[in-house]
């Protein structure tokens, strides 16, 4: 697998603001959020490397200055990394065109495009080989979802040729959607106007189809997840810890939980369901944590219950409190006897007094 794509270059799109994940993304760009113990992108970078990618150009915009300190020149990961920043956001096509200035490959070479908020188990090497064998302009990874109305849907003919590119629609013609991983022939990227706001989904792909260029769909049914919402972010971290998706970047064995350096988990606590317990985080006796992300230095006190939630850096969940399907911002303190659930988000640094928020009527 490695040898077939020795010199493949990639562009990684990481410019988004991650608004759906606030307050987690107020201080940290979405691609750097801790996911199964490492920044989210570490999983993508390690997977790309496993398929032979050796050079990756980051297309940054929001909080651009935070990416290079996180990954440096990539040598620790066996990669060569470059950083290209858009002064003003240019859309997906403009971002790809801007980042392409740092590519070294020739006009007929394939270039892999990755989105910084997707977890995928598909065979990148096979997608690239298919692209090259068919001489396509672009080859899009397509995945099948139960509810395609939330995504752009992508019908193909029997040869795999994409026949249309339909933005979110109430009556999709197919449940195959754009999965956000593309292979472009380099010359096609160079044809995108420079320094302009361009959407590949709304302009570049439909334009290529209209002009008769070969736009291919590479469809498969492997693991795929868009981590744009808190529930999906938690699911992604959980699935990596449990081993539902393999990642070379996982910093420990797969299992019911992953504990980072200095984490203290009481023998009388229950921590399971793919939970990550961050560095120096504490889970006290009688606490129950299921399928959650506990960030560094967070504290779950005795008798508290946390499930399907994110507890931010240095946040504290006091005894007897129930946190379910919630996001607790960095440094927040949720006092004893609170019940937080149903997608509630507590902003960083907020302190909720005892029994401030309840869902049940008992006191």
Residues designated as active site: 168
Alpha-carbon distance 11 to 30, whole Å? 17
Is the Cα torsion angle 233, 237, 242, 243 positive or negative in sign?
A: positive
Q: Give yes or no for a contact between 263 and 279, defined as CB atoms under 8 angstroms apart.
A: yes
Alpha-carbon distance 252 to 255, whole Å? 9
List b or e across 103-119, with b for residues whose CB sees 16 or more CB atoms inside 10 angstroms: beeeeebbbbbbbbbbb
Alpha-carbon distance 239 to 245, whole Å? 6
DSSP symbol at 201: I
Q: Give yes or no for a contact between 10 and 184, defined as CB atoms under 8 angstroms apart.
A: no
The pair of three-digit structure tokens given for residue 151, joined into one six-digit string: 């995504």
Q: Give yes or no for a contact between 62 and 17, defined as CB atoms under 8 angstroms apart.
A: yes
Q: Give yes or no for a contact between 209 and 163, defined as CB atoms under 8 angstroms apart.
A: yes
- How far is CA 325 from each of CA 26, 259, 343, rounded to the nearest angstrom? 19, 21, 5
Alpha-carbon distance 85 to 93, whole Å? 14
Q: Give yes or no for a contact between 277 and 295, defined as CB atoms under 8 angstroms apart.
A: no
């Amino acid at each position: 697998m490695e040898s077939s794509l020795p010199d493949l270059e990639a562009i990684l799109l990481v410019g988004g603001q991650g608004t759906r994940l606030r307050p987690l993304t107020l201080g940290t760009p979405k691609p750097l959020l801790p996911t199964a113990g490492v920044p989210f992108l570490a999983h993508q970078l390690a997977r790309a490397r496993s398929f032979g990618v050796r050079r990756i150009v980051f297309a940054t915009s929001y909080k651009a200055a935070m990416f290079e300190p996180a990954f440096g020149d990539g040598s620790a990961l066996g990669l060569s990394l470059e950083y290209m920043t858009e002064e003003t956001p240019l859309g997906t096509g403009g971002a790809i065109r801007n980042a392409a200035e740092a590519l070294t490959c020739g006009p007929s070479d394939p270039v892999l495009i990755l989105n910084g908020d997707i977890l995928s188990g598909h065979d990148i090497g096979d997608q690239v080989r298919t692209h090259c064998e068919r001489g396509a302009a672009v080859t899009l990874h397509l995945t099948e979802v139960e509810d395609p109305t939330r995504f752009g849907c992508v019908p193909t003919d029997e040869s795999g040729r994409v026949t249309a590119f339909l933005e979110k629609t109430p009556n999709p013609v197919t449940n195959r959607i754009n999965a956000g991983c593309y292979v472009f022939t380099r010359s096609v990227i160079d044809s995108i106007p420079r320094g302009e706001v361009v959407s590949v989904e709304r302009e570049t792909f439909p334009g290529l189809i209209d002009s008769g260029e070969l736009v291919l769909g590479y469809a498969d049914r492997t693991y795929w997840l868009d981590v744009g919402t808190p529930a999906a972010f938690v699911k992604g971290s959980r699935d990596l810890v449990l081993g539902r998706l393999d990642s070379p970047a996982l910093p420990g064995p797969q299992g019911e939980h992953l504990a980072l350096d200095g984490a203290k988990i009481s023998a009388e606590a229950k921590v399971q369901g793919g939970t990550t317990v961050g560095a120096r985080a504490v889970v006290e006796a009688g606490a129950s944590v299921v399928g959650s992300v506990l960030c560094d230095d967070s504290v779950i006190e005795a008798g508290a219950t946390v499930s399907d939630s994110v507890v931010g850096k240095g946040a504290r969940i006091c005894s007897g409190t129930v946190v379910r399907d919630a996001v607790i911002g960095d440094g927040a303190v949720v006092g004893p006897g609170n019940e937080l659930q149903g997608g509630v988000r507590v902003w960083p640094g907020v302190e909720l007094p005892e029994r401030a928020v309840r869902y049940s009527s008992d006191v």
